[in-house]
Amino acid sequence: MAERKLARLFDVRRVIGGLFVVYGLIVTLIGVLDGPSELEKAQGVRINLWMGLGMLALGLLMLLWLRLNPPPEPADPPAETADREV
Amino acid sequence: MTGLRLDVGFVDYLILAIYFVTVLGVGFAARRAIKSSADFFLSGRSMPAWVTGLAFISANLGALEIVGMAANGAQYGLMTLHYYWIGAVPAMVFLGIVMMPFYYGSKVRSVPEFLRLRFNRPTHLFNAVSFAVAQVLIAGVNLYALALILQALLGWQLWTSIVVGAVIVLSYIVLGGLSAAIYNEVLQFFVIIAGLLPITIIGLVKVGGIDGLFEKVRQSPLGEAGLHTWADTGGTENPLGASWIGIVFGLGFVLSFGYWTTNFAEVQRALSAKDMSAARRTPIIGAFPKLLIPAVTVIPGLIALVTVQGLGAAEGDLTYNNAIPLLMRDLLPNGVLGVAVTGLVASFMAGMAANVSGFNTVFTYDIWQAYIRKDRDDAYYVRVGRIATIAGIVVGIGTAFIAAGFDNIMNYIQALFSLFNAPLFATFIVGMFWKRMSAWAGFWSLFLGFLAAFVLYILHLTEVLKFNSDLEQSFWGAGLAFVVAVVVALLITPFTPGKPDDELRGLVYGLDSSTGDVLTADRVWWRNPVLLGVIAVVLAIILYIPVW
């Protein structure tokens, strides 16, 4: 049961949120540092900056959702044995 | 091969490496949750609908699909949208509203198992074995395609790429089973969208927005015809070479319903949902992103058509299949480039993981447990599942090298697979709605439908029969298989005993199958599968209007 709870810590929202916060920070940083040649390649769009901020926002939203609506407690044992009749 | 080589830098590799670490971490985390075979193969039937819905669409969003649909966008223009709208949405909604109550309600663990309950063991074995073989072959093709793209874009050795890809997929599925596969599918859905979006944005800026793009397409060899979906379909004088009858019945009905409603690699995602309501919503939730994915596949295809000089060469770096890689090379600066590379790699791995997790479930439950070693304890079958995963991937690596020997293996396997799905769908749909259909009618309908399509395919390969294209052949093959399967079912049923009603309860239409207990919280409108399904279909129709 304890292990099950531990596993629930890895809610998919936490995984997505974590990855996108990291990606968002990296890509935003690159975007701030982008020079003229990068801007020229991207047709003048500060694409790294915008995508970085976008990914950061998605990551934070996922984490916020997790905070506001945490995963339910592990299901009761009877519910789990129910679909074990094979 | 240096023409496609991307200018990847340290930061791009960092982004790719972080993804690999995350994916493996998910595998280790999911391992802790696995207590039984249902946990390993069906995620313990615990997933919320938005997770299974995104996994459902993600299992379909393999890189072959992305790269291929962008290629079709460049080659056929907006008619490619048919693959996303009429060719997917109605079938997904039908699966959720009509078929899911039978699948989920009967507590089956796989599509072949449903056939065993509805028909008999020979039907079950035939389907289980052919499905398992097809999944391993397709996993191999995915692996090979991943290696090819890593070689072209990053300059990795083919052999290194195949082993790295296989080891990562192997690790997370052996560790985490279906849970790990599903988590990673949801994750890769967001990564691939984040990776492709910059291509569309920068590409549209370059060509002067949607209006500029359409104007340039009009001046391209594709011309005005490339901007319409239905307008020229009275005959076959259009880029796709298909009439509206072919599009509606061939693509929209037989091929699409066959793929979406009976392909276990898809259906398995819904079976892992936490309750009936979530299972029914799974494919319908998947339909909403499906409506919008053309924005990051078909649109880039058109952008490539008008911005890449000489695109559409028969071979070399400028084939249609390289539309997306070429745009990545031309438009993406380091940073988003890393995200795009990661997205492509992730989607190859997700496609392969979907095949492998479908394979290990069917192999363990439907072949090993049903015919070889019955009545062992549950832990034994989890072990078998893990060994089957390893064996499946090793054989997949082997088939990847076989695939390397053919030019056009993708087309062949796609064709074979769609031919195999069409008779299955016919057998299913007749069996679900006609309770009199007998057990042996099920077997012969499935077998002869498959055989008819197979013979047609061989005649096509040996050029005894001539078709305009592989596409046309697969349409006729699927149509023939469907008709043969239905006719055989109707002919054999009167001569063979039917199954008693009691054995069919919950499996066929009209014998009180409950649609599950509706939880109070699920009575709200945004959790109503029928309403959501209608909204998805209406949206598809509205989206067609400006590109009529």
The shortest C-alpha distance from A33 to chain B (Å) reads 11
Strands (DSSP E) along B219-374, which ranges? none
Q: Is B470:B415 a contact under the CB 8 Å cutoff?
A: yes
Residues with Cβ within 8 Å of residue B159, at least 6 apart in sequence: B147
Among candidate residues B227, B253, B252, B244, the one with its CA nearest the CA of residue B425: B253
pLDDT value of position A81: 40
Crossing angle (nearest 10°) for helices B158-207 and B323-331? 70
CA distance B125 to B443: 10
Nearest to B333 among A3, A6, A47 (CB): A47
Question: Rounded to an integer, what is the distance from CA B195 to the centroid of its chain?
Answer: 20
pLDDT value of position B536: 85
CA distance B187 to B181: 10
ipTM of the complex: 0.81
- Report DSSP letters for B381-396, one per residue: HHHHHHHHHHHHHHHH
Name which of B10, B23, B199, B336 to mutate to probe chain A: the one with the most chain A Cβ atoms within 10 A of its Cβ: B336
Subunit contact B187:A54, Cβ cutoff 8 A: no
Cβ burial B41-79 (10 Å sphere, 16+ → b, else e): bbbbbbbbbbbbbbbbbbbbbbbbebbbbbbbbbbbbbb
Domains of chain B: 10-32+46-403 (1.20.1730.10)
DSSP type of residue B187 = H
B186 touches chain A (CB under 8 A): yes
Subunit contact B335:A26, Cβ cutoff 8 A: yes
List the domain boundaries for chain A.
14-68
CA distance B23 to B343: 13
Cβ contacts of A30 on chain B, cutoff 8 Å: 11, 334-335
Give percent helix, percent strand, percent coil of chain A, each to the nearest 5: 75, 0, 25
B11 touches chain A (CB under 8 A): yes
Among candidate residues B328, B346, B78, the one with its CA nearest the CA of residue B220: B78
Nearest to B183 among A6, A12, A47 (CB): A12
Q: Is B419:B474 a contact under the CB 8 Å cutoff?
A: yes
CB atoms within 10 A of CB A76: 9
Subunit contact A43:B331, Cβ cutoff 8 A: yes
Cβ burial B379-391 (10 Å sphere, 16+ → b, else e): eebbebbbebbee
For the record, the structure tokens of A55 come out as 């990914």
Subunit contact B202:A43, Cβ cutoff 8 A: yes
B494 touches chain A (CB under 8 A): no
- Phi and psi, residue B273, nearest 5°: -70, 160
pLDDT value of position B469: 66
**Burial tier of B205 (Cβ tally within 10 Å: 0-12, 13-18, 19+):** middle
For the record, the structure tokens of B547 come out as 């590109």
Q: Is A47:B197 a contact under the CB 8 Å cutoff?
A: no
- Phi and psi, residue B92, nearest 5°: -65, -40
Collect the ranges in chain A with pLDDT lower than 70.
1-10, 71-86
Dihedral in degrees, nearest 10, Cα atoms B99, B104, B107, B110: 70
- Report DSSP letters for B356-424, one per residue: HHHHHHIIIIIIIIIIIS-S--HHHHHHHHHHHHHHHHHHHHHHHHHHTT-SSHHHHHHHHHHHHHHHH
Number of CB pairs, chain A paired with chain B, less than 8 A apart: 108
pLDDT value of position B417: 64
B207 touches chain A (CB under 8 A): no
Subunit contact B36:A7, Cβ cutoff 8 A: no
pLDDT value of position A22: 94
Alpha carbon distances (Å) from B280 to A35, B114, B143, B189, B257: 50, 17, 31, 20, 16
Q: Is B475:B70 a contact under the CB 8 Å cutoff?
A: no
CA distance B59 to B54: 9
pLDDT value of position A86: 33
DSSP type of residue B519 = P
B370 touches chain A (CB under 8 A): no
Q: Which residues pair with B47 in a beta bridge?
A: B273
Q: What is the pLDDT along chain B (548 residues), one digit of tens a residue?
A: 357 777 788 888 999 999 988 888 888 877 776 666 666 666 666 678 888 888 888 888 877 778 888 888 888 888 888 888 888 898 999 988 888 888 888 888 888 888 888 888 888 899 888 888 888 888 888 888 788 778 878 888 888 888 888 888 888 888 877 777 777 888 888 998 999 999 999 888 888 888 888 888 788 777 777 777 787 766 667 777 667 777 777 777 888 888 888 887 788 888 888 888 888 888 998 899 988 888 888 899 889 888 887 777 767 777 777 888 888 888 888 888 999 999 888 888 877 888 888 888 888 888 888 888 888 887 888 888 888 888 888 888 887 777 666 555 556 556 666 677 888 888 888 888 888 888 898 899 999 998 998 888 888 878 887 776 666 677 778 888 889 999 999 998 888 888 887 777 777 876 655 555 555 556 677 778 888 888 888 888 888 877 78
pLDDT value of position B538: 86
